[in-house]
Structure 1
Amino acid sequence: MTALQTRPGSSAASRLVRHVGTARETGILLALVLVVVVAAVRNPSFLLSSDGFRDLLLTPSLLLLLAIGQAIVIITRNVDLSVGSVLGLTAYLTGRLFIDVPGIPIVVVFAGGIAAGAILGLINGALVAFARVPALVITLGTLYIYRGMNVAWAGSDRINASDLPAGFRGLGTGQLVGIPILTLIAAVVLVAAAWYLRNLRSGRELYAIGSDPAAAHLYGLNVTRRVIAAFVVSGALAGLGGVLFAARYGTVSSGAGLGWELQAIAAAVIGGVAISGGVGTVWGAAIGAYLLLTINRALPILGIDDFWQRAVVGVLILGSIVLDRVLAVRQSRRLIAQREVDR
Structure 2
Amino acid sequence: MLKRLILSREALLFGAIAILCALIATRFPGFVAPSNLMRVFNDTSPLILLAIGQMIVILTKCIDLSVAANLALTGMCVAMLNTAYPGLPIAVILVIAVGLGAVMGMFNGILVWKLAIPPIVVTLGTMTIFRGIIFLVSDGNWVNSHEMSASFKAFSRSEFLGLPMLSWTAILAVIVFTLVMTRTTLGRGFYAVGGNPHAATYTGLNVGRSQFWAFTISGALAGLTGYLWVSRYAVAYVDLAGGFELDVVAACVIGGISIAGGIGTVGGAVLGALFLGVIKNALPVVNISPFWQLAISGAAIIIAVIVNARAGREKGRIILKSAEKPA
Q: Identify the residue that residue 66 of structure 2 maps to in structure 1.
A: 82
Quick check: 187-196 or 306-315, which moved more? 306-315
Q: Work out the CA distance in 2 between the residues paired with 1:197 and 1:321.
A: 23
TM-score when normalising by structure 1: 0.90
Residue type at the aligned position of 1:170: A
Q: Work out the CA distance in 2 between the residues paired with 1:134 and 1:192.
A: 29
Q: Work out the CA distance in 1 between the residues paired with 2:295 and 2:151.
A: 40
Following superposition, the deviation at residue 40 of structure 1 comes to 2.3
Choose which of 85, 109, 126 in structure 2 pairs with 1:142.
Answer: 126
Q: Is 1:315 matched up with 2:299?
A: yes
Quick check: 265-274 or 301-310, which moved more? 301-310
The question of whether the paired residues in 1 share the 8 Å contact of 2:83 and 2:149 is answered with no
CA shift digits 1:268-298 (9 cap, x unpaired): 1111111111111121111111111210221
The question of whether the paired residues in 2 share the 8 Å contact of 1:172 and 1:249 is answered with no
The question of whether the paired residues in 2 share the 8 Å contact of 1:91 and 1:243 is answered with yes
The question of whether the paired residues in 1 share the 8 Å contact of 2:158 and 2:164 is answered with yes
Q: Work out the CA distance in 1 between the residues paired with 2:32 and 2:164.
A: 15
Unaligned segments of structure 1, at least 5 residues: 1-14
Following superposition, the deviation at residue 338 of structure 1 comes to 3.3
The question of whether the paired residues in 1 share the 8 Å contact of 2:41 and 2:277 is answered with no
Q: Identify the residue that residue 211 of structure 1 maps to in structure 2.
A: 195
Following superposition, the deviation at residue 102 of structure 1 comes to 3.5
What secondary structure, in the 3-state scheme, does the structure 1 residue paired with 2:284 have? helix
What secondary structure, in the 3-state scheme, does the structure 1 residue paired with 2:155 have? helix
Choose which of 14, 21, 30 in structure 2 pairs with 1:36.
Answer: 21
Q: Identify the residue that residue 94 of structure 1 maps to in structure 2.
A: 78
Quick check: 82-91 or 196-205, which moved more? 196-205
Residues 41-80 of structure 1 aligned to structure 2 (within 5 Å): 41-48=26-33, 50=35, 52-80=36-64
Q: Identify the residue that residue 95 of structure 2 maps to in structure 1.
A: 111
What secondary structure, in the 3-state scheme, does the structure 2 residue paired with 1:253 have? coil
Q: Is 1:183 matched up with 2:167?
A: yes
Q: Identify the residue that residue 238 of structure 1 maps to in structure 2.
A: 222
Unaligned segments of structure 2, at least 5 residues: none
Q: Work out the CA distance in 1 between the residues paired with 2:293 and 2:242.
A: 19
Q: Work out the CA distance in 2 between the residues paired with 1:60 and 1:207.
A: 26
Residue type at the aligned position of 1:33: A
Residues 181-330 of structure 1 aligned to structure 2 (within 5 Å): 181-305=165-289, 309-330=293-314
CA shift digits 1:205-242 (9 cap, x unpaired): 11111112222213321212111000000000000000
Choose which of 21, 44, 47 in structure 1 pairs with 2:6.
Answer: 21
CA shift digits 1:17-38 (9 cap, x unpaired): 2232121111211121122222
Report the RMSD for the aligned CA atoms in angstroms. 1.8
Following superposition, the deviation at residue 307 of structure 1 comes to 6.8
Following superposition, the deviation at residue 300 of structure 1 comes to 3.0
Percent identity between matched residues is 35
TM-score when normalising by structure 2: 0.94
Q: Which of 1 and 2 has greater Rg?
A: 1
